A and B are shown apart, each in its own frame.
Chain A
Amino acid sequence: MSKQHLQQTLFLPNDERLITMIPVSKMPRKTNLKKRSSLLCSVLNTMESPVKVYIYHVKKSDRGDGHKKKMAWLLRDLRTVDGKSAEKPTAEFDLLFEKVYKWMASSVEDKETFISSLWRLSHRFLIQKPDFINIPERLLEDIKDPHMLREKSQSVDDISIEGEDYQALSAKEESDLELLMSECQVAISNAEVFTEQLSKQLSVLDGANIHSIMGSEDQVLNLMRLLDDGIREAEQIESKLDSYDNILASVKEQMEVMRDKDTLLTVRNQNHQRLLEELENLQKKLDLDLKYMQALMDGDLTTSQGIKECTEAAQALYQCMNADIHPSLCRLGAVEEQQKYFKKLLASFSKRLIHHLNNLFIHHVCAHLYIHKKKFFLIEHCIKKLYTREISDFMESAKQKLVTAKDSKGKLGASTLPRLTGSSTSLTKIEARGRSGSSHSVDSSGLKYGSELDIAMRSVFDQVLEKVLSELERVCIAEQDFCFKFFHLIDKNQPSEENCQKEPGPHGEAASEAESEVWVAKQTYSTADSEYITENLGEGLLQKRAASIYARFNLKTSFVLIREMMAKLFPLLEDELDNFLTHADRQDGMYSMYMLVRMSQHVINNQDMGSYLGKTFGNCLIKVKRNFDKYIETMMQAVKETKVSKKTRCGIISFVHNFEDFTNLAEAIFRGSDRHADLDKAYTKLVGVVFEQVVRVANEHQKTPKEVVLMENFHRLYSTLSHLKNACLENDRKDAKQRYTENLKAYTVNLLGRPLEKLHIFFEGVEARISAGVKPEEVGYQLAFSKQELRKVIKEYPGKEVKKNLEHLNKKVEKQLCEEENLIQVVWHEMQDVFINQYKYYDDLMCRCYPDSNITLDFTIDDVLQYFSDIAQAH
């Protein structure tokens, strides 16, 4: 480690100058672990002013060859330098700064050099010098002098420069210089020669220098060339690098594209996977086993095994068809195709099934009917007898009820009807309950109204009739239903039929229940059952029942069968019903109206079924209609044959009353019925006859004037027709009014001849003359109508007489008119009116025919009015 090097690397950067350096080691070294070279340097810092002297402890750095300053002290801070011993040469010494640092120099000489250097430096730069102890005197003395000398010689010179010059002469230079000097010993003596020699040498050196410079030109050129080459190479490399760069850039782009593609690929893969899953799922759902298809296409429906297979297949098909598929998937061609295929399968299967069932149905019905003809006849025979007896009983009781309208019917009905049910349909208890309930209601209603009078009787009849009809209807329908079920005429019950085919009679139901493991059969059976029950709930539901049967029952043939069967079961129903109706009709023709309404209602209720009952009722309805017509006919006949008592005043003729009552009753019965048109026809006929007969009676009557009879009766008829407000009778109504007013006028005019009869005749004569062409003024000149005659006539009617006559007339009117129609006031009012008009007319005629004669009637208008008032007051 040279001093220069140290100076260069460590101190120069800080503008410091190394003065001395000695290798040292720290004294208290107990363990010689590592010999680390460390230096103690005294350094002069020229930058600062005044110049400062540092003592550095420099250590070799841990890595590399560098050194670093470990510790630094100012020389100023140095208190004591301990040389340890002045006599004994030792390498140890102590430096006391803030504390004591013990050092061991590498050699005694180094130590002495260092100490002397410190001595010199402290003498040079410090005012207060450190103590130097235990140091040999010679070191201090020695150095002291030259130092002092130099200090004196150079006096004010810059210490640092002086130090530098000194420093510049390195040992080598010194040696070189010495060598140089020695070479030219002359120099000392002869400066000129020496200078010359030197300059010679210098020029030689210059020349050599230039020479060498020249010589090195090639090398420089070489170097330049090399440099150029190097540059070129570098450029080449650079361009290559650039091209690589380009390539890399494109590669990068491609990499990015590849990355995108990669993500796409993954997504696609996932989608594929999902699609696959979905498709598998779908396929699983829509896949129909080939076995099932086989079963559906041509499974054997005749064996129970085949049915079971078909049922399973149908269920599978059903599941497939109703599989829970996402709606969007349904648009898939394959799915659509599959579904189409399913549908086709379904259609063909159902067609096949229907066909098969139809075949079975027809076959079995025929077979069944054939095979069990005997048994059926047996049953039929029993039931027929039973029904026949019961229906006759029932009808008989109903008839009795009508006759007595009191007692036993209810009881009879109650006892017979449940039996009626019991025989045929013992399996339905509900029905029996319903039955007995209804018959009970007949009973109670019968008792309630039994002893009532006329109108009440009719309503009883109406109720009885309704009961009879609805009971019959219910029994018949129940029986019909039973037949349907029992003989399995309803196609849906086909499967159950298979089993009960060989065991007829009451086992049918049990058998069908045993068969209930067949799914289809059970279901239809239960629905049929429930319907059967609802059917029995009441008449109101019959229509619904009928409709439902009709809807699911297409085979007309079975209806025909049933109808025949029913006809056999109820051979006497129509006759009995007929009997009953005839009987009722005989009781009172009025009943035919009730029957007409009720019957037509029931016919409408039953017509949908085309059943035996419907047919029977239809037949009865025709008869009832005939009865009704007959009734109207009878009534008309009665009107025609009416005889009126000749002794009393006529009043309102009985058939006019009857007609009014009839309209009231008929309206009540027919209200809301669609049979009103029949009634309207009857009305028209009746009214015609009544009008006709009123005229006949009026003409025949002796006691009451014709006009009164007509007036009163037509007034009443008009009122009746007005109440009816029937459009068909509008003309008759107007006619009645017309006839009434006409007769009112006729009556008053006729009557009025009476009070002034002779005057009346006289003036009638006058009027006749005038109308014959005689001038009014000249009438008086004719003998019969002279003034004399007139005076004579007038004299016969003095006021008193007139009043008496009027009073008489008033009484007569009262006598002739009946209280009931209350027309007295009307007539009398008319009478007064006409009388006053007559008076005015006479007066007028007298003025015209006998002017200036001063003849007037014996009474004035005021008198007349007074008479009227008096008459009024007399009441």
Chain B
Amino acid sequence: MSKAKAQQPAVIHKVIMVGSGGVGKSALTLQFMYDEFIEDYEPTKADSYRKKVVLDGEEVQIDILDTAGQEDYAAIRDNYFRSGEGFLCVFSIKEQESFQATQDFREQILRVKNDENIPFLLVGNMADLAEQRQVSEDEALKRAQEWKVHYVETSAKTRANVDKVFYDLMREIRSRKMEASRQSNGKQNKNRTSKKIKCVIL
């Protein structure tokens, strides 16, 4: 029998789900992973998921870190923010507070990643409950424009836009990576000419 060779795709995109508690981060994740929707709410601490997907014809692997919404100390998140390559910043359109909280998450991510252009999507979940809406689309769009990110409304229940947010984020991550490798190639070339100081640091 000829397996045991971990046939993992070369490319892994690491996505972090952030947002206040109860906005549906886990629901979005589970819907994306297993096509299922779980009504019962059970606060997540942290969980990791992995799935092979085909992104624009290329097989890649997506690692999703589903994180806790309720935490006393924001600093705890630093570590996994650090590991993330892209972020889905989720709030619930029927909860103004969760929308406000996205500001803090955004700031922390920028601080930890120290990168203004980190792949990032503002996600307004629970779009199926539009009659209880507290956060208007304009409001959210305005904030997204401020941050220069995209805003998407999803419903983990109806699976509306669920794939879209993950795939969009992966595309952003991919293009970032290609850009980075181009830059580093350029740098390498430069380094080659001007001795390899960077290599020493690495």
B-contacting residues of A (Cβ < 8 Å)? 454, 588, 590, 654, 657-658, 661, 715, 719, 722-723, 725, 820-826, 828-830, 832-833, 836, 861, 865-866, 868-869, 871-873, 875
Contacts and interface: CB of A to CB of B under 8 A. Distances in A.
A658 B7 CA distance: 12
26 contacts: A454-B3, A590-B1, A658-B3, A719-B49, A722-B34, A722-B36, A820-B6, A822-B50, A824-B83, A825-B46, A825-B48, A826-B47, A826-B48, A826-B65, A828-B80, A829-B45, A829-B76, A830-B45, A830-B46, A836-B73, A865-B73, A865-B75, A866-B75, A868-B75, A869-B78, A869-B112
A657 B3 contact: yes
B48 A823 contact: yes
B2 A454 contact: yes
Contact of B80 (A657, A722, A825): A825
B80 A829 contact: yes
Contacts of A836: 72-73, 76
B81 A829 contact: no
Nearest to B33: A722
Chain B interface extent, by class = 20 to 34
B10 to A, nearest CB: 14
B140 interface: no
Residue among A821, A822, A871 with most chain B CB within 10 A: A822
Nearest to B79: A872
B49 A872 contact: no
Contacts of B47: 826
Contacts of B82: 872-873, 875
Given A723-B34, A826-B65, A829-B68, A658 B4 contact: yes
B67 interface: yes
A869 B76 CA distance: 7
Query: 4 tightest CB-CB pairs across the interface, nearest first?
Result: A865-B75, A872-B78, A872-B79, A829-B46
Given A822-B48, A825-B48, A825-B79, 11 more contacts: A454-B2, A820-B6, A823-B48, A826-B47, A830-B46, A832-B79, A866-B75, A868-B76, A868-B78, A871-B79, A875-B79
B75 A869 contact: yes
B128 interface: no
Contacts of B72: 836
Interface of B: 1-4, 6, 8, 33-36, 45-50, 63, 65, 67-68, 71-73, 75-76, 78-83, 112
Contact of A725 (B6, B34, B71): B34
A435 B148 CA distance: 66
Contacts of A872: 78-79, 81-82, 112
B64 to A, nearest CB: 9
Contact of B83 (A725, A833, A875): A875
A833 B45 contact: yes
Nearest to A870: B78
Contacts of B35: 725
Contacts of B8: 820
A833 B1 contact: no
A829 B34 contact: no
A658 B1 contact: yes
A221 to B, nearest CB: 138
Interface centre among A657, A658, A832, A875 (most CB of B within 10 A): A832
A654 B4 contact: yes
B45 A661 contact: no
Contact of A828 (B63, B73, B79): B79
B76 A657 contact: no
Given A825-B83, A836-B76, A873-B78, A588 B46 contact: no
A836 B76 CA distance: 9
B6 A657 contact: yes
Nearest to B14: A822
Given A657-B6, A722-B33, A829 B79 contact: yes
Contacts of A865: 73, 75-76
Contacts of A820: 6, 8
A863 to B, nearest CB: 11
B27 to A, nearest CB: 14
Contacts of B48: 715, 821-823, 825-826
Contacts of B46: 825-826, 829-830
B51 to A, nearest CB: 9
Contacts of A823: 48
A715 B33 CA distance: 14
Contacts of B71: 833
A658 B78 CA distance: 36
A719 B67 CA distance: 17
Of the candidates A654, A722, A725, the one having the most CB atoms from chain B within 10 angstroms of its own CB is A722
B1 A588 contact: yes
A824 B14 CA distance: 13
Q: Looking at B46, B65, B71, B82, which has the most chain A CB atoms within 10 Å of its CB?
A: B46
Contact of B4 (A657, A723, A825): A657
A327 to B, nearest CB: 62
A650 to B, nearest CB: 14
Contacts of A833: 45, 71, 76
A620 to B, nearest CB: 24
Nearest to A875: B82
Nearest to B75: A865
A820 to B, nearest CB: 7
Which residue, B8, B68, B82, has most C-beta atoms of chain A within 10 A? B82
Nearest to A715: B48
A52 B75 CA distance: 170
B89 to A, nearest CB: 17
Nearest to A865: B75
Given A868-B79, A875-B83, A822 B63 contact: yes
Nearest to B114: A873
Contacts of A590: 1
Nearest to A590: B1
A368 B4 CA distance: 64
Nearest to B4: A654
A725 B4 CA distance: 24
Central interface residue in B50, B65, B79, by most chain A CB within 10 Å:
B79
A823 B46 CA distance: 9
A861 B3 CA distance: 48
A821 B6 CA distance: 12
A666 to B, nearest CB: 14
